[in-house]
């Protein structure tokens, strides 16, 4: 993990949980594991403060613990560095659930995300206590909660093993993949009693089953959306719909996070699935042509590997995200250095190795300009130089050598990821600065809005409301609008950079052997 990622994680934890949790996470980030005493000593915080911060981070699955090797009664804590970035994606998770399950699903996801992890009964009780959701029945909430478990958007945490031995200090958990998506027994009558204050959550039959959102299931949908959108932009809606059905078939036989290639899919399976589930007559009529279009396309998302069953196909995740990642890099180069620099980058990538004189000829760019652009790309680590010494040429002089431009794909992606981490950190810091700098003005605006809303509910006259609104002077209104626009722009930049980071992380998962922390269940 780079220093830029460390700074970004620190800023995110501070924004979500405060200064104490930030100090604890920074301490854990700089070490593999640490005990409570070591964290307290390093952060200069009391053991109570450290313990509270750790309990919050554990609840949100950002910290794990296990017994030390030397002393089984002392726990040591480690930070899940790769999951911290997921805190910024909470709005995207809720938006996706809302599109699939409506406002009820969004309410459930929001409560579960804000709690970190909770039981089904507690989550549904909170949802049903909200004034905006009272129109919906408790049964509809329970059904959608269970459906989200079935679709793997919600996952059960390992259950606590209750031991009769008094000597055990550390809690032990039972982890069984078969139980991750087992439905809890939700008693709606008991939930109604809890809402009326006639019972407690401890009486619920599912009090030992703790649930949280399954990040990897959401990331699977984000990844699929990237590929489907890329195909739709290039090949049209019918081709993207065809690929969407291919992905659904793929997940029946293939681990969603298999790194390189999917298991084989037959043409017959694709045709039967589309005939059953699609209403697109044009796609059914020309299915073989759309599949040929997908296999022949330079993006390389689909590859034909045999002729059995009308044709055997595999989804090539490695080639797909290699194409998408380098399209992203070329876009960055175009924005920073212009289209000619992007052309030079493409030529070097196509040729693998190329000399300066050949580069300017292949790219059809004047020599002076080609050298300048190549130097800029080299300086920013988009391209690299390989020196090859010539044979012979003895004597006391310097050994002769010639230099070839090349692209180290993994290094280029890693460099761009670090740039994105740094940019996202700067964006968050700038947004916090704007909010802190104009706290008084923002608070005044919120108070005024509350007062006006209350006056409207009481039925006050428009003239009196207008007089109250005029207490906010025109210069203050102008400054506040500028601040709101800046914060809105920074929020959009955060969202765009997170999408770029996610794309590059998918490249690292599917095109390298680096540990990415992505798995089927987490």
With CA atoms as reference, report the closest residue to 356 among 369, 345, 370, 366: 370
Q: What is the pLDDT of residue 248?
A: 93
Q: What is the pLDDT of residue 397?
A: 54
* Residue 516: inside a domain: no
Answer for the pair 105, 148: CB distance below 8 angstroms, yes or no: yes
Q: Are 251 and 290 contained in the same domain?
A: yes
Q: What is the pLDDT of residue 168?
A: 60
Q: Above 90 in pLDDT, residue 222?
A: yes
pLDDT tens-digit series, residues 284-329: 889 999 999 999 988 889 999 888 878 899 999 999 999 999 999 9
* Residue 518: inside a domain: no
- Which DSSP state fits 391? S
Give the start-end residues of each E strand in 281-428: 302-306, 312-315, 384-389, 401-406
Q: Above 60 in pLDDT, residue 421?
A: yes
Instruction: State the CB neighbour count (10 A cutoff) for residue 166.
Output: 6
Residue whose token pair is 């726990």: 75
* Residue 519: inside a domain: no
Q: What is the pLDDT of residue 334?
A: 93
Q: Are 200 and 101 contained in the same domain?
A: yes
Enter the tokens of residue 234.
């290039």
pLDDT tens-digit series, residues 131-175: 665 667 888 999 999 999 999 999 998 888 776 665 567 778 877
Q: Are 103 and 193 contained in the same domain?
A: yes
pLDDT tens-digit series, residues 77-128: 999 998 999 999 999 999 999 999 999 999 999 999 999 898 988 888 888 8
pTM over cut 0.75: yes
Percent of the chain with pLDDT over 70: 94
Q: Which of 360, 375, 407 is the last residue of a domain?
A: 407
pLDDT band at 393 (very low <50, low <70, confident <90, very high): low
Range of the domain at 146: 86-213
Secondary structure class of 365 (helix, strand, coil): coil
Answer for the pair 108, 201: CB distance below 8 angstroms, yes or no: no
Q: Which of 79, 107, 122 is the last residue of a domain?
A: 79
Q: Are 373 and 277 contained in the same domain?
A: no
Enter the tokens of residue 464.
């009196």
Enter the tokens of residue 503.
């794309």
Q: Distances in Å between the alpha carbon of 31 and those of 10, 46, 450? A: 14, 20, 47
Is beta strand 75-79 parallel, antiparallel or unpaired with respect to 34-35? antiparallel
* Residue 292: inside a domain: yes
Q: Are 236 and 300 contained in the same domain?
A: yes
Q: Distances in Å between the alpha carbon of 303 and those of 248, 255, 405? A: 16, 18, 31
Q: What is the pLDDT of residue 132?
A: 63
* Residue 170: inside a domain: yes
With CA atoms as reference, report the closest residue to 122 among 176, 214, 202: 202
Residue 74 maps to which CATH number? 1.10.10.10
Mean pLDDT along residues 235-246: 92
Q: Are 64 and 50 contained in the same domain?
A: yes
Q: DSSP letters along 280-313, please?
A: -HHHHHTHHHHHHHHHHSTT--EEEEE-GGG-EE
Residue of 5 and 451 predicted with greater confidence? 5
Q: Are 461 and 482 contained in the same domain?
A: yes
Q: Are 350 and 366 contained in the same domain?
A: yes
Give me the helix-helix angle, 474-511 and 439-458, nearest 10°: 110
Q: Are 130 and 168 contained in the same domain?
A: yes
Q: Distances in Å between the alpha carbon of 174 and those of 227, 250, 326, 456? A: 37, 31, 43, 55
* Residue 372: inside a domain: yes
Q: Which of 355, 376, 407 is the last residue of a domain?
A: 407
Answer for the pair 83, 215: CB distance below 8 angstroms, yes or no: yes
Is beta strand 159-161 parallel, antiparallel or unpaired with respect to 265-266? unpaired
Q: What is the pLDDT of residue 67?
A: 85
How far apart, in whole angstroms, are the C-alpha atoms of residue 304 and residue 331?
Answer: 29
* Residue 12: inside a domain: yes
Q: Are 231 and 192 contained in the same domain?
A: no
Q: How many domains does the chain have?
A: 5
Q: Are 98 and 146 contained in the same domain?
A: yes
Q: What is the pLDDT of residue 158?
A: 86
pLDDT band at 28 (very low <50, low <70, confident <90, very high): very high
Q: Are 176 and 125 contained in the same domain?
A: yes
How far apart, in whole angstroms, are the C-alpha atoms of residue 320 and residue 234?
Answer: 14
Contacts of 500 (CB under 8 A, 6+ apart): 328, 420
The overall average pLDDT reported for the chain is 87
Give the chain's count of helices (H) and strands (E).
Answer: 21, 13
Instruction: State the CB neighbour count (10 A cutoff) for residue 209.
Output: 19
Instruction: State the CB neighbour count (10 A cutoff) for residue 414.
Output: 18
* Residue 517: inside a domain: no
Return the minimum-mean-pLDDT range out of 227-231, 379-383, 387-391, 439-443: 387-391
């Amino acid at each position: 993990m780079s220093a830029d990622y460390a700074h970004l994680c620190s800023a995110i934890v501070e924004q979500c949980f405060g200064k104490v949790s930030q100090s604890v996470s920074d301490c854990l980030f700089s070490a593999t594991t640490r005990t409570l005493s070591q964290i307290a000593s390093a952060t200069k915080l009391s053991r109570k403060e450290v313990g509270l911060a750790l309990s919050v981070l554990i609840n949100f699955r950002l910290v794990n613990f296990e017994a030390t090797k030397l002393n089984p009664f002392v726990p040591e804590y480690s930070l899940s560095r790769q999951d911290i970035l997921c805190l910024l994606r909470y709005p995207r998770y809720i938006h996706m659930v809302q599109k699939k399950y409506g406002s009820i699903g969004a309410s459930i996801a929001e409560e579960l995300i804000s709690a970190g992890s909770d039981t089904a009964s507690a989550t549904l009780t909170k949802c049903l206590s909200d004034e905006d959701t009272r129109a919906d029945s408790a049964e509809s909430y329970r059904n959608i909660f269970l459906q989200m478990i079935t679709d793997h958007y919600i996952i059960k945490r390992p259950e606590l093993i209750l031991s009769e031995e008094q000597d055990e200090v550390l809690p032990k958990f039972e982890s069984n993949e078969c139980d991750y998506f087992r439905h809890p027994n939700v008693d709606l009558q008991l939930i109604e009693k809890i809402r009326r204050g006639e019972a407690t959550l401890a009486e619920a039959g599912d009090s030992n089953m703790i649930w949280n959102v399954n990040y990897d299931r959401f990331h699977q949908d984000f990844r699929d959306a990237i590929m489907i959108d890329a195909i739709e932009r290039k090949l049209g809606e019918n081709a993207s719909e065809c690929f969407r059905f291919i992905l659904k078939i793929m997940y029946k036989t293939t681990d969603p996070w298999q790194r390189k290639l999917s298991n084989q899919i037959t043409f017959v399976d694709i045709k039967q699935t589309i005939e059953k589930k699609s209403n697109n007559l044009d796609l059914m009529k020309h299915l073989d042509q759309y599949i040929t279009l997908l296999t022949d396309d330079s993006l390389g998302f689909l590859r034909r590997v045999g002729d059995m069953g009308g044709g055997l196909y595999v989804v090539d995740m490695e080639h797909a995200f290699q194409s998408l990642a380098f399209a992203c890099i070329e876009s960055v180069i175009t924005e920073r250095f212009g289209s000619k620099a992007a052309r030079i980058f493409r030529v070097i990538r196509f040729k693998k190795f190329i000399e300066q004189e050949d580069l300017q000829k292949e790219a059809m760019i004047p020599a002076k300009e080609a050298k300048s652009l190549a130097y800029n790309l080299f300086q920013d680590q988009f391209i690299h130089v390989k020196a090859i010494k010539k044979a012979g040429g003895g004597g006391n002089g310097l050994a002769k050598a010639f230099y070839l431009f090349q692209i180290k794909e993994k290094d280029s992606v890693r460099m761009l990821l670090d740039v994105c981490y740094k940019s996202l950190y700067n964006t968050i810091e700038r947004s916090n600065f704007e909010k802190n700098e104009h706290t008084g003005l923002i608070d005044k605006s919120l108070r005024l809005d509350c007062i006006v809303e209350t006056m409207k509910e009481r039925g006050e006259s428009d003239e009196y409301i207008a007089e109250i609104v005029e207490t906010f002077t025109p210069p203050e209104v102008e400054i506040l609008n500028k601040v709101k626009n800046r914060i809105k722009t920074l929020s959009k930049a955060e969202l765009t950079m997170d999408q770029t980071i996610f794309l590059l992380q998918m490249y690292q998962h599917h095109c390298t052997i680096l540990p990415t922390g992505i798995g089927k269940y987490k």
